[in-house]
Chain A
Amino acid sequence: MGRFFHKATVAGATHGTLADGPRLLWRGALASSDPDRTAAPTAAGLFRDYGAFAWRVLRRLGVAERDVDDLCQEVFVTVHRRIASFEQRSSPRTWIYGICVRTASEYRRKVVHRREVLAHEWLDAQVDPCQETEAGLREARAVLDRILDCLDADKRAVFVLYEIEEVSMAEVAIAVGCPLQTAYSRLHGARREVEAALHRLQAARNAT
């Protein structure tokens, strides 16, 4: 699981990077016993409000259908572990998206061999992705995901968050952890590559 904890502010102290990987930072054990200090968002509340978002963004970030539930669970376990250190400098949604991006990135690294196999399926897309039926929608999503597979993880994350999740660029930059200008650059690069991939796909389909 992701070794992407950064800093955890606990009872006024700042911890360094956790070298031993994720570790539950339980509010009860970290905070004082003052019940007023427990008024922050809960993991369950964040799941209720953003669980569907997280699930969807994981799918678009390249998590296979068969794995998305596991990854979504992983995201919210991470949310739970890190909620004590969530300082609300960004919106909860942006924060969770950031966790999704890192979780999916790690996942993609692990399944790169499978993605190589999937790449051979590229030319198999025969169904018109513009159909309005449920089957058409599914195929359209499959085509979209194949196109997104052409992007590197950084560009994909920016593209997905901005174009599909409609997050502002400022929040995208926070979620992916890069300067705003870099996020713009990635977006423009991603757009070019996505359009090129779409053209290739359409050309391949027309040629068959």
Chain B
Amino acid sequence: MSDPTRLNDPGSTGPESLRRLIQAGRSEVPDRERLRSLAGRLGFGVGSLPASAGAAKGAALLGSVGVKMGAVALIALAGAGALAEVHAARAPQVVVAAAPKAQPAPATASRLPPGPPIEEATERPGDVVPAGPSAAPAPPVAPRLIARSSPAKATGNELPVVSPTMEPSPSSPVDTEFSLLEQAQRTLAADPRRSLDLTERDARLYPSGALAQEREVIAIQALLGLGRTDEARARAARFSQVFAGSAYAPRIAQLLDSSASTHNP
């Protein structure tokens, strides 16, 4: 079955007034400042913006264009903490550094002030782009905006609390919750000890962080990598208690099973 003629198509027999309404609807796209603000709220870097406002409009009207994909950091800051993703591709990296959580949140609503001007400069490998106010800790955000899993309650099943042997350094732009875990993930295969250290550092800096579950998965993997199977199993057991129903549960079970079959072929 072929698609019917669209009302906006020249051959349409629909009302002309409706066609013009549809065209008006198609003509509405966010301007560059709005996209920039949105990108800032999401913690996206400069690469997440079209090259120009015209490009944004063109993309919305005509379709997307292929753009080279660099490695990107995403830090979606919400009331409970940060969500983040960095693609560990070998492409150049632009890391959007989140401001420290200790900063007071703006008193105003969920719309954060725009960040510093985002230059349309070429991104260089390893660049760190201070996210500035736009990536500062989010003001209270309506729960509907970014729903989060509830932080672990003090039930006696808390996940490991690490002694503060390393002082938090919130001024360091790389010590975002995400960046710590991203490093932990990257070093997991080659240096599980280092990976475990990083998860411990993350646990100390962000005990109720938004990525607590991710931290635990990495830590369990690291423990398995170090041959500390019993500790990994104990940690997995605590995980299943604290984060009942987690989407990571099958992954953890798989990790433990793989470890068991490796050690007990």
Contacts and interface: CB of A to CB of B under 8 A. Distances in A.
Interface of A: 1, 8, 10-11, 13, 15, 18-30, 33, 35, 38-39, 41-45, 47-53, 55-56, 59-60, 69-70, 72-74, 76-77, 80-81, 83, 92-93, 110, 129-130, 137, 140-141, 143-145, 147, 162-164, 166, 168-169, 180, 184, 187, 191, 194-195, 198, 202
Contacts of A22: 147
A101 to B, nearest CB: 16
Contacts of B37: 69
A194 B18 contact: yes
Interface of B: 1, 3-4, 6-8, 14-15, 17-18, 20-22, 24-30, 34-35, 37-39, 41-42, 44-45, 47-50, 56-57, 59-60, 63-65, 67, 69, 71-74, 76, 78, 83, 85-90, 110-111, 142-147, 149, 181-182, 185-186, 188-189, 210-211, 213-214, 217-218, 244-248, 250-251, 254
Contacts of B254: 11, 13
Given A56-B60, A129-B21, A51 B83 contact: no
Contacts, number: 242
Contact of B251 (A30, A130, A169): A30
21 contacts: A1-B145, A24-B211, A26-B211, A28-B86, A29-B181, A39-B89, A42-B87, A48-B47, A48-B67, A50-B59, A55-B34, A55-B35, A56-B25, A70-B111, A73-B38, A74-B146, A76-B38, A80-B76, A83-B85, A169-B1, A180-B1
